[in-house]
Chain A
Amino acid sequence: MTLLGTLALWLALLVGVWGALAGFVGGLKDRPDLARSARNAVFAMCGALVVAVAALEWALFQHDFNVEYVAAYTSRNLPIFYTWSALYAGQKGSLLFWATVLSAFGSLALVLTPRRHRELLPYVAGVVSVVAAFFISVMLFGHANPFQRLPYTPLDGSGLNPQLQNPGMVFHPPMLYLGYISITIPFAFAIAALLSKRLDTDWLVAIRKWTLLSWLFLSVGICLGMWWAYVELGWGGYWAWDPVENASLLPWLTMTAFLHSVMIQEKRGMLKKWNLALIIGSWLLSIFGTFITRSGVISSVHSFTQSSVGYFFLAFLIVSGVASFALYANRLPLLEAEARLESMVSREASFLFNNLLFIGIAFSVLWGTLFPILSELVQGVKITYGPATFNFVNIPLGLALLLLTGIGPLIAWRRASVPNLRRQFAVPATAGGFMALVLLVAGMRDFYAVVAMGLGAFVAATIVQEFARGTGARRRQYGEAYPLAFARLIARNRRRYGGYIVHAGIVILFVAFAGMAFKTETEATLRPGESASLRSPYGYTYTFTSLGLSQYDALNRQVTAAAVEVRRDGRKIGLLNPEKRQHVDAFGRPTFQPSTEPGIMSLLREDLYVVMGGVVNGTEQAVFRFTINPLVWWVWYGGMIIALGGLIVMWPGGSPAAKQSQAGYSVRLVGKQP
């Protein structure tokens, strides 16, 4: 099967190269036969790569340890769930996964895109083929072939890293990959629009679902990554400003900026240059993220083993960046706006400032990520740009963005009048101010936490106000009952009200982030029967009593588990079981260092998080770290709300009028200013 896999990779590469040539030549020379051939090449490449994936999965499930990748990432006793996910656990497999999903997305784009965009499709096929062929060539020429064989056959494999043996890690990487990969489709359409000089709003309509899809995958992937870090890594947090975390945030920020600014182009025919630059920039950042993860240029807990593939990605990043922006610069004269901004106090202007902040935060995160390298280049001294520095720079920017999240929807398109502003802002501003006052009176003194919660109340009030007014208007206009009017309000304009639901999720996230300012923790060594106490920010006293340790064997690990009874103000509320795990292979040989599995009790107000560090003198006397993390559950809840809002925005249908407005209808309505 490995021979079949390698042959499939070579076939996919050859077909990909042909697809790229046929796509670009077919588009430029207007040759339908070549355009058709390019389309078929993408399908064939997808088929060949699916065969390669099937061959690798076959080797994984057959425990063919003669295959280096299988021996490195699996063992005989690895659960089936993780044997499957080993496909993307390592560098080589993840490259194959990436290329396969890209070719599948490319095929879907070619099949699902309406015929009215057919002039763009040869170029789309060409770009998809180039990118996929690049990934395949990295596998074949960058010593990253997942089908490479060993000169011997080990009795068992090394097994999967214990930290990857977590359900979060089964879903988090593919979700992020899907987000990264799917950005290639909007990028391909942007390049197609530039090459074909069809730079009206048509290409934006063609990519609308794809941009939302990649944004949604990135959002879910980032949230799942935070959840995995929280439940698996044991440090009691979910975001550490790690370079790879940052790399996933960068395209998310630029894509979010695009999702806002594209509305201005669709409604007013403005920001054409900016939107194209955002799409190209987002795609380059997705490749940059891949470079960061795989090059080892910046140390990160997430990085794959250092290898030469980093150079491939760096070269690809530079070449594709230069080529894309050269083409972009060449087409700038064709990207003139169809309308002018009429007032500084308008939704367009607020969206521009919103974009400025998104891009500013993206720059700030990129700056912090690369600053240690810059410092070494400039000062000759390597420095550490830790979470505190990232927070120092980014918290004020994030809060400003939260403020604009509330302001944007309240300002009218084109021009807002003073009475209109007064009417729109009265309730939300009062709600925000009132919340901040209540918190200050209640004794909260953390500046950023008070501001975050005050702004959260402001934005939440704007959302409630928008829903209330819309529902009320529908009820008056159509005589619908409130629940029906509410449901139809969302259904008729999914983009707008789905967007508000996303904003609600963002508010919840910010408030939950602010909660971490009140994290409390303590360490204690407990014998069975002994207790440690910790006071929560809400004034409760939690008592943790060790009930003793037990040891047992599970499928592929030897577990030492503690039983810790938890009482809140003297009343028992549950039991926590932090563990130490020693993973072993099928012959009982240890495969990795013992890992830590925290015991977590998630409550609405706070999480109780217990880590067992180890034992003293081989006895049941154990070292624990007890942490109270306020509002953590709300981070996951906020993530779910964001995903729900994203799904509503993406859901097909909606009112014809809403569709028209998103398809450049308003541009024609407004026309060019004299």
Chain B
Amino acid sequence: MTRRYDATSYVDRRGFLTLGAGALLGVVASWRQSTPQAPDSLPGTGPSGRLWDPARAGRPLDPVTVADNDAAIQAIEKQLHCTCGCNLDVYTCRTTDFTCTVSPALHQHVIGLAEKGMTGQQILDQFVREHGVAILMSPPKRGFNLAGYFAPSLLIVAAGVVLTLVLRRWTRAAVPAPVPDTPSSTGGTPEELERLRGELERLSV
């Protein structure tokens, strides 16, 4: 800023731009100060903070244990039907529908039986004793259940055999149109050639 001889002051272009830039920086700086970033956890900075409203995140869960990821336990649970009405197996239900309280209980029961030294089959048998055979995702292959496994395939095979026999009879009954030993003429009429062309067209070439 320069004071002129008549005591008024004026701002030259450079001063104006400098003042403008300074003001802009000041506004930006004060705005950033007035809207501080919410403190948040950063990777590796220590224990996790509490959520503002944990109830929104659903039912509190326990940390995952080694047994939860045990392939043998999972294999057993995939053969057990969750009884909550979801139509899923225990493993899928407990890792999908986190509102379900049935599948975590069944999971704990599986782990408990496994810790007692039971094999996979013994655990499944124990569940059948406790809940009935409907607890299994697949019915045991015995008795009437065999019809559930094999009836469709057997019926298809039987139908296939019948179809083959019927088709064989049909094909024997059908006498193919006789083909003359020698062509009646070397060429064809324009109509016949047009029809042949149409047929070739129909065969999509």
By a beta-carbon cutoff of 8 Å, the part of chain A in contact with chain B is 233-236, 240, 242, 299-301, 340-344, 349, 352-353, 356-357, 360, 363-364, 367-368, 371, 375, 378-379, 381-389, 392-393, 396-397, 415, 469-470, 473-474, 477, 489, 492-493, 496-497, 521-525, 527-529, 545, 547-551, 558-560, 580, 582, 593-594, 596, 611, 613-623, 625, 655, 657-658, 660-661, 666, 673-674
Query: Of B52, B81, B175, B204, which one neighbours A386 at CB under 8 angstroms?
Result: B81
| A489, B205: Cα distance in complex, Å | 7
Give B180 Cβ to nearest chain A Cβ, in Å: 15
Query: Given the interface contacts A613-B95, A615-B51, does A393 sit within 8 Å of B139 by beta carbon?
Result: no
Give A591 Cβ to nearest chain B Cβ, in Å: 13
User: Is A492 a contact of B56 with CB atoms below 8 Å?
Assistant: no
Interface string of B141-178 (1 = CB under 8 A from A): 00111011101110110011001100110110111110
| A363, B151: Cα distance in complex, Å | 10
Query: Given the interface contacts A341-B171, A352-B163, A551-B52, does A560 sit within 8 Å of B57 by beta carbon?
Result: yes
| A593, B84: Cα distance in complex, Å | 15
User: Is A528 a contact of B43 with CB atoms below 8 Å?
Assistant: yes
User: Is A384 a contact of B137 with CB atoms below 8 Å?
Assistant: yes
User: Is B175 a contact of A674 with CB atoms below 8 Å?
Assistant: yes
Q: Which residues of the partner chain A approach B79 to less than 8 Å between Cβ atoms?
A: 388
Query: Of B48, B81, B151, B163, which one neighbours A619 at CB under 8 angstroms?
Result: B48
Q: Which residues of the partner chain B approach A489 to less than 8 Å between Cβ atoms?
A: 204
> Which B21-54 residues have C-beta < 8 A from chain A?
40-45, 47-54
B188 on the A face (CB < 8 A): no
Contacts A240-B87, A340-B173 aside, 13 further interface pairs with beta carbons under 8 A come to A235-B92, A342-B171, A356-B163, A375-B144, A381-B132, A382-B134, A386-B138, A396-B153, A397-B153, A397-B156, A594-B99, A619-B54, A673-B174
Q: Which residue of B lies closest to A673 (CB)?
A: B174
User: Is A389 a contact of B96 with CB atoms below 8 Å?
Assistant: no
Interface string of B80-95 (1 = CB under 8 A from A): 0100011111001001
| A622, B202: Cα distance in complex, Å | 63
B183 on the A face (CB < 8 A): no
User: Is A548 a contact of B48 with CB atoms below 8 Å?
Assistant: yes
Top 9 nearest A-B pairs (CB, nearest first) are A618-B54, A620-B48, A386-B137, A364-B152, A473-B205, A529-B43, A340-B174, A360-B156, A594-B58
B10 on the A face (CB < 8 A): no
Query: Given the interface contacts A364-B152, A658-B204, does A618 sit within 8 Å of B198 by beta carbon?
Result: no
| A625, B95: Cα distance in complex, Å | 7
User: Is B41 a contact of A613 with CB atoms below 8 Å?
Assistant: no
User: Is A623 a contact of B138 with CB atoms below 8 Å?
Assistant: no
User: Is B64 a contact of A523 with CB atoms below 8 Å?
Assistant: yes
Q: Which residues of the partner chain A approach B134 to less than 8 Å between Cβ atoms?
A: 381-384
Report how many residues on chain B are interfacial, defined by Cβ distance under 8 Å: 78
| A385, B144: Cα distance in complex, Å | 13
User: Is B144 a contact of A240 with CB atoms below 8 Å?
Assistant: no
Query: Of B68, B173, B175, which one neighbours A523 at CB under 8 angstroms?
Result: B68
User: Is B60 a contact of A657 with CB atoms below 8 Å?
Assistant: no
8 A–B contacts from the bound complex (CB under 8 Å) = A343-B171, A375-B148, A524-B69, A582-B55, A613-B61, A618-B60, A620-B41, A666-B202
Give B135 Cβ to nearest chain A Cβ, in Å: 8
Q: Which residue of A lies closest to B62 (CB)?
A: A616
User: Is B202 a contact of A661 with CB atoms below 8 Å?
Assistant: yes
Give A9 Cβ to nearest chain B Cβ, in Å: 33
Q: Which residues of the partner chain A approach B52 to less than 8 Å between Cβ atoms?
A: 551
Query: Of B45, B53, B99, B201, which one neighbours A551 at CB under 8 angstroms?
Result: B53
| A360, B154: Cα distance in complex, Å | 10
Q: Which residues of the partner chain A approach B89 to less than 8 Å between Cβ atoms?
A: 386
B59 on the A face (CB < 8 A): yes
| A619, B47: Cα distance in complex, Å | 9
| A524, B62: Cα distance in complex, Å | 11
Work out how many contacts link A and B, with CB atoms closer than 8 A: 251
| A55, B163: Cα distance in complex, Å | 54
| A559, B52: Cα distance in complex, Å | 11
Query: Of A343, A389, A473, A620, which one neighbours B49 at CB under 8 angstroms?
Result: A620
User: Is A299 a contact of B87 with CB atoms below 8 Å?
Assistant: yes
Query: Of B45, B50, B85, which one neighbours A529 at CB under 8 angstroms?
Result: B45
| A593, B101: Cα distance in complex, Å | 13
Give A520 Cβ to nearest chain B Cβ, in Å: 11
| A582, B62: Cα distance in complex, Å | 20
User: Is A593 a contact of B99 with CB atoms below 8 Å?
Assistant: yes
User: Is A529 a contact of B44 with CB atoms below 8 Å?
Assistant: yes
| A341, B167: Cα distance in complex, Å | 7
User: Is A353 a contact of B160 with CB atoms below 8 Å?
Assistant: yes
| A623, B62: Cα distance in complex, Å | 8
Give A327 Cβ to nearest chain B Cβ, in Å: 25
Query: Of A340, A397, A548, which one neighbours B41 at CB under 8 angstroms?
Result: A548
B124 on the A face (CB < 8 A): no
Give B100 Cβ to nearest chain A Cβ, in Å: 10
Q: Which residues of the partner chain B approach A341 to less than 8 Å between Cβ atoms?
A: 167, 170-171, 174
User: Is B138 a contact of A392 with CB atoms below 8 Å?
Assistant: yes
B133 on the A face (CB < 8 A): yes
User: Is A492 a contact of B204 with CB atoms below 8 Å?
Assistant: yes
Query: Of A396, A615, A655, which one neighbours B60 at CB under 8 angstroms?
Result: A615
| A661, B195: Cα distance in complex, Å | 12
Q: Which residues of the partner chain B approach A655 to less than 8 Å between Cβ atoms?
A: 201-202
B63 on the A face (CB < 8 A): yes
Q: Which residues of the partner chain A approach B86 to less than 8 Å between Cβ atoms?
A: 301
Query: Of A343, A528, A625, A660, which one neighbours B45 at CB under 8 angstroms?
Result: A528
Query: Given the interface contacts A371-B148, A392-B138, A619-B50, does A611 sit within 8 Å of B171 by beta carbon?
Result: no
User: Is A470 a contact of B175 with CB atoms below 8 Å?
Assistant: no
Q: Which residue of A lies closest to B174 (CB)?
A: A340
| A471, B150: Cα distance in complex, Å | 45
| A585, B162: Cα distance in complex, Å | 62
Give B192 Cβ to nearest chain A Cβ, in Å: 12
Query: Given the interface contacts A360-B159, A551-B51, A551-B53, does A300 sit within 8 Å of B87 by beta carbon?
Result: yes
Give B165 Cβ to nearest chain A Cβ, in Å: 11
Query: Of A236, A547, A616, which one neighbours B43 at CB under 8 angstroms?
Result: A547
User: Is B167 a contact of A352 with CB atoms below 8 Å?
Assistant: yes
B110 on the A face (CB < 8 A): no
B123 on the A face (CB < 8 A): no
| A658, B168: Cα distance in complex, Å | 30
Query: Of B51, B155, B171, B201, which one neighbours A549 at CB under 8 angstroms?
Result: B51
User: Is A384 a contact of B153 with CB atoms below 8 Å?
Assistant: no
Q: Which residues of the partner chain B approach A527 to less than 8 Å between Cβ atoms?
A: 47-48
B76 on the A face (CB < 8 A): no
Q: Which residues of the partner chain B approach A497 to less than 8 Å between Cβ atoms?
A: 204
User: Is B167 a contact of A415 with CB atoms below 8 Å?
Assistant: no
| A656, B97: Cα distance in complex, Å | 56
| A593, B55: Cα distance in complex, Å | 11
B106 on the A face (CB < 8 A): no
Give B158 Cβ to nearest chain A Cβ, in Å: 10
Query: Given the interface contacts A341-B167, A527-B48, A558-B53, does A522 sit within 8 Å of B69 by beta carbon?
Result: yes
| A619, B136: Cα distance in complex, Å | 37
User: Is A621 a contact of B96 with CB atoms below 8 Å?
Assistant: no
User: Is B205 a contact of A470 with CB atoms below 8 Å?
Assistant: yes
Query: Given the interface contacts A341-B174, A389-B148, A473-B205, does A379 sit within 8 Å of B143 by beta carbon?
Result: yes
